[in-house]
């Protein structure tokens, strides 16, 4: 049985912003999960989505994040809900959901907001941005041992080429990988300027901010094992849904969105026969649930104008069968 969704239509998306992070697609998330009794927010961040869901009538939210800074910010913001027993936070990684102290809990709603927070981008010491002099770190949490500098200094040319081609969709991935190997032989990579210089050296002086953002994102994805972690997590999160529960995922990278779209489609197929069979031999009835978003939900022009980082957000949702 679902809770009642409160009327939050009078509130704007900006209501849920904080100095830590401006969450994307809050309205659609509330529409999908706002009537849930128990929600797992697997990427708590600054707590914006959780605050909106609690305000919308969700009974209880358990928030998870691998970043201690995020946990501290969200816990402070949501202290009143925590005192009322409606919110609790766990330090951990959603990609290892079965290792979290959740006992046998099953959720009527699960949310992932992939990517990084505004705070992580804006805090130069975290090394997520290409601003001058930022350390090449990019680790989302203490569970990651290898920094971006370690990766750029230690990965062989083939691994670097794969990272830039697969995660950065870079047509000259081989050229960039060779440039990094050449430069690090003289001086190890340590700060953002080193990587920016290699990008310019390999791709030319007309390389701009969008190229830097795309290639820094590729390294961040590799450092934090983001795509592989998401792929591992999807079936585990699905199995944590209660009957009728909804899994909602906001992706910012085409590879993430593709994984989510294909998983949701596969789980919703009635027939599981090999595609080459001319007629169904499995008897059908194998669908585990239903896709709720025929197409990915994207941010409105107004939201993008207020929060440009929402431009690449893609929300998809799936409901487990009753």
- Structural domain boundaries, residue 297: 13-119+226-320
Domain CATH code at residue 107: 3.40.50.150
Q: What are phi and psi of 89, to 5 degrees?
A: -125, 145
Predicted confidence at residue 124, as pLDDT, reads: 59
The string of DSSP letters for 250-286 reads EE-SHHHHHHHHHHHHHHT-S--S-TT-SS--S-S--
pLDDT of residue 9: 41
Co-location of 267 and 183 in the same domain: no
Q: Are 204 and 253 members of one domain? A: no
Question: Is a pLDDT exceeding 90 seen at residue 152?
Answer: yes
Asked if residue 108 belongs to a domain, the reply is yes
Residue 238 lies in a domain: yes
Q: Are residues 109 and 170 in the same domain?
A: no
Q: Alpha-carbon distance 301 to 134, whole Å? A: 31
pLDDT of residue 109: 98
**What is the average per-residue pLDDT within 233-255?**
97
Closest by CA position to 166, among listed 153, 178, 179, 177: 177
* pLDDT, average across residues 127-153: 83
Q: In this predicted structure, what is the pLDDT of residue 286?
A: 77
**Residue 182 reports pLDDT greater than 60:** yes
**Residue 165 shares a structural domain with residue 244:** no
In this structure, the answer to whether residues 269 and 312 fall within a common structural domain is: yes
Distance, CA of 298 to CA of 225 (rounded, Å): 25
Question: What is residue 275's predicted lDDT score, i.e. its pLDDT?
Answer: 77
Q: What is the mean pLDDT of residues 28-42?
A: 96
Q: What is the pLDDT of residues 264-285, one digit of tens each?
A: 999 999 877 777 777 777 776 7
pLDDT at 8: 45
**Domain assignment present for 4:** no
Answer yes or no: is 134 within a domain. Answer: no
Has residue 288 got a pLDDT over 60?
Answer: yes
The more confident residue out of 205 and 256 is: 256
Give residue 294's pLDDT: 92
Tell me the mean pLDDT in the region 232-256. Answer: 97
| pLDDT at res. 278 | 77
pLDDT-derived band at 141, boundaries 50, 70, 90: confident
Give pLDDT, residue 11. 52
Q: What percent of the chain has pLDDT over 70?
A: 88
Query: What pLDDT does 15 receive?
Result: 56
Q: Which tens digit of pLDDT belongs to each residue from 37-52?
A: 999 999 999 899 999 9
221 contacts: CB under 8 Å, gap ≥ 6: 163, 167, 227, 253, 255
- Give, for 163, the enclosing helix (H) or strand (E): helix 157-166
Domain boundary among 155, 189, 223: 223
Is residue 172 assigned to a domain?
A: yes
The rounded distance, in Å, linking the Cα atoms of 182 and 159 is: 15
| Same domain, residue pair 201 and 239 | no
Res 3 pLDDT > 50: no
Distance CA 140, CA 114 (A): 12
| Statement to judge: residues 115 and 237 lie in one domain | yes
Do 231 and 314 lie in one domain? The reply is yes
Residues 246, 176 share a domain: no
The verdict on pTM exceeding 0.85 is yes
Pair 290, 164 in one domain: no
Q: What is the DSSP letter of 129?
A: S
Residue 1 lies in a domain: no
Domain boundary among 172, 200, 223: 223
Number of domains within the chain: 2
* pLDDT tens-place string over residues 89-135: 999 999 999 999 999 999 999 999 997 765 565 565 665 666 778 89
Q: What are phi and psi of 285, to 5 degrees?
A: 75, 20
- Looking at residue 85, its pLDDT comes to 97
Question: What pLDDT, in 10s, does the model give residues 62-88?
Answer: 999 998 888 998 999 999 999 999 999
Instruction: Please check whether residues 211 and 267 belong to one and the same domain.
Output: no
Res 7: pLDDT: 44
Neighbours of 245 (CB within 10 A): 26
Predicted pLDDT at 298? 97
Task: Please state, in angstroms and rounded to a whole number, the distance separating the CA atoms of residues 47 and 21.
Answer: 8
Please say if the pLDDT value at position 199 is more than 50. Answer: yes
| Residues across the chain | 322
**What pLDDT score does 309 carry?**
85
Q: Answer with the residue of higher pLDDT: 313 or 145.
A: 313
Query: What pLDDT is attached to residue 21?
Result: 61
Last residue of a domain, one of 192, 223, 254: 223
Q: Does 42 reside within a domain?
A: yes
Q: Is the pLDDT of residue 261 over 90?
A: yes
Query: Exposed, middle or buried: residue 200 (CB in 10 Å: 0-12, 13-18, 19+)?
Result: middle
Residues 17 and 107 in one domain: yes
Instruction: Check which CATH number belongs to the domain holding 200 and give it.
Output: 1.10.150.170
Q: Single out the residue of 128, 133, 111, 126 nearest to residue 42, CA to CA.
A: 111
């Amino acid at each position: 049985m679902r809770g009642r969704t409160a009327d939050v239509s009078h509130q704007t998306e900006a209501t849920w912003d904080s100095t830590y992070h401006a969450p994307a697609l809050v309205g659609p998330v509330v529409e999908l999960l706002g009537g849930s009794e128990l929600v797992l927010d697997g990427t708590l961040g600054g707590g914006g989505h959780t605050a909106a869901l609690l305000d919308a009538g969700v009974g209880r939210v358990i928030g998870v994040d691998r970043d201690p800074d995020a946990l501290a910010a969200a816990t402070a913001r949501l202290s009143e809900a925590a005192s009322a027993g409606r919110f609790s936070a766990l330090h951990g990684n959603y990609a290892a959901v079965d290792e979290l102290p959740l006992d046998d809990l099953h959720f009527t709603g699960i949310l992932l907001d992939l990517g990084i927070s505004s705070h992580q981008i804006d805090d130069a010491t975290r090394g997520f941005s290409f601003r001058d002099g930022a350390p090449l770190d990019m680790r989302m949490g203490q569970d990651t041992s290898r920094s971006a500098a370690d990766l750029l200094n230690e990965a062989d040319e083939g691994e670097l080429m794969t990272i830039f081609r697969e995660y950065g969709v870079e047509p000259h991935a081989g050229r960039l990988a060779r440039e990094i190997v050449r430069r690090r032989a003289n001086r190890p990579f340590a700060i953002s300027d080193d990587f920016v210089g290699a990008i310019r050296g390999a791709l030319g002086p007309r390389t701009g901010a969008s190229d830097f953002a795309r290639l820094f994102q590729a390294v961040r994805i590799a450092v934090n094992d983001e795509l592989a972690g998401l792929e591992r997590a999807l079936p585990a999160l699905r199995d944590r849904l209660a009957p009728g529960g909804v899994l909602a995922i906001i992706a910012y990278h085409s590879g993430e969105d593709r994984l989510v779209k294909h998983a949701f489609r596969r789980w919703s197929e009635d027939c599981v026969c090999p595609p080459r069979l001319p007629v169904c031999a499995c008897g059908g009835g194998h669908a585990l649930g239903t896709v709720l978003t025929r197409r990915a939900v994207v941010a409105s022009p107004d939201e993008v104008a207020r929060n440009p980082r929402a431009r690449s957000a893609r929300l998809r949702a799936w409901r487990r069968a009753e």
